[in-house]
Amino acid sequence: MIIFYKTQKLKEIQSFYQGKMGMNLWLDQGSCLIFEKGNLKLGFCNSDEAETAGTITFLYDSIKEVDAVYQTFEEISTTKPKVNPDYNIYHFWGKDPEGRSLEFQYFLKPGECPEGAENPIEILNPDESKPKLLLTRLIPQNAIDLLSEVFEVHANTAERGLSREELLGAVADKDALLCLLSDKINAELMDKGKKLKVVSNYAVGYNNIDLDAAKERNIAVCNTPGVLTESTADIAWSLVMAAARRIPESEIFLRQGKFTGWEPMLYLGQDVHGQTLGILGMGRIGQAVARRATGFGMRIIYHSRTPKELDFEAELVDFETLLKESDILSLHSPLTPETDGLIGAKELAMMKKSAVLINTARGQIVDEEAMIAALKNGEIFSAGLDVFAQEPFIPDELMQLENVVMLPHIGSASFKTRSDMGELAAKNAIAIVQGEEPPARVI
C-alpha cells in the first residue's frame, strides 16, 4: 500500500524525506516520487494545492530508538517524547516542510516505561558545599570519582541523551558542564547556565560548542585531544582492512552456511599492501593512521593546509591529486564550514573505481546522498564508516548496501582510551573551577 499526498514543494519534500528522514527513493516518475522505509511507502505528486491533512506515523522497536530519533529530529519536533497511557505508546510529534503531522512511535510492552523519562538527573554525591557539575551522560567511573572529589555531580543516569528541554533545565545552577559531542552548547544554553565557568567536552572535537558565545561570557572550553589518537587510528585501520577485503560480507556468507569450499573468484577485494594511502587532514590521528601504512609498504600522500614535519615519508599534494591517486582515502579533517560536505558527487567521481573511502572524522564531511549513489553505481569500490551525517540516524539506503562497513562511532571505544578521556575531561573542569590552567584548553 502507498499513501499519496499532493505537494507544492516536490524538491523540498524530496530533500526532507530522502535526505533528512533517510527514506529510500522507491520510484521516480518525474512529477511524482515514492519513498520507502520498512513497510511504509509515501508518494508525493506535484500539484497546485498541497494535501496536509492526516498523520504520517513512523514505527520503532524500542524506547531507545524513539529517544535517538528525537535527538536527531528535535528541530522539527512539536513535542518531546512521552508516554500516552490511553494507547500505551511512547511517541513524539513533528511537522514536515508543508506542515504535515509526523508521529514517531513505539508500542510499549505491558508494564514497560521509559527509564528516567520523568527525571533523568541524579545527584551522585549530595554535598551542597561543593560547586555543582552537570554530567550529560555517565562516563567511566575513574572520571566520576575524580569529579566527585571537587564537585557535587548531577548526572544523567538514563540510557539516552538529554532532550533539549532537559539540558536547558538542568544547567541552570551549575558551575561546570561536562558534555558530549552530541550536546548542542550554544548561547541559549549558556544564558540558562549563568554560573557556568567551564564547558568540558568529552571529545577531541568541539564543533558542538559556540566558541564565540563562550568567549563573550568568559566561559572556558576544554576538550580531550591526544588520548584517543592511537585507538581511533586502530579503528580506521580495522575499517581499511574490512572494507578493502570484504571481511563482513565474507563472514556473513560463511555463517549462513554457504561456504562449500575454496573458489577462485569468491569475494575478491582490493589489496592494501603496496597501494597509495591518501590522508585528508594530517593531524595527530591522520599521522597515526599514515604511520601504520609504512608497515604495509604503502605510498603515502596527504592534503593539509600546511606542510607537516613527519617522521615517515609522505608527499603533500593538492586536493584533486589526493582524490585521483588514492587507492584508500582516509578522512581526518575537523568539521568546519569549509569541510562540511567537502566530499560530494564531483569529488567522488574523481576517485578511482577501485578506491576505498574511510571516515572516522565527522559524518558531515561527506555528502551522504552522493556517497550512497557512488557506492550503488560502482563509482568507488567500498567505504568504511564510523561516523554519519545525522547520528544516530542512518539512512535505510545506506544500511542496505553490502559494500559499506559501518560502526556505531566507536573509534575511541577501548577501556583505556575512554577512561583516559574521562580523566582528562574531569581534570579540565577541576582546573578551571580551582583557578588553574587546564591540561587541554580550547579557549
All cell numbers assigned to 442: 580550547
What is the spatial distance between Cα 237 and Cα 247, in angstroms, rounded to a whole number? 13
Fill in the DSSP letter of residue 393.
B
Contact 173, 132 (CB under 8 A): yes
HSE-CB of 174 using CA atoms within 13 angstroms = 31
8-state DSSP, 296:
G
Q: Is 284 helix (H, G, I), strand (E, B) or coil?
A: helix
Q: Which residues are identified as catalytic?
A: 362, 391, 409
Q: What angle do CA 116, 394, 251 make, to 5 degrees?
A: 105
CA atoms within 13 A on the CB side of 313: 6
CA atoms of 35 and 126, how far apart (whole Å): 51
Q: How far apart are CA 256 and CA 161, in angstroms?
A: 36
Helix-then-strand count for the chain, H and E: 14, 21
Contact 161, 182 (CB under 8 A): yes
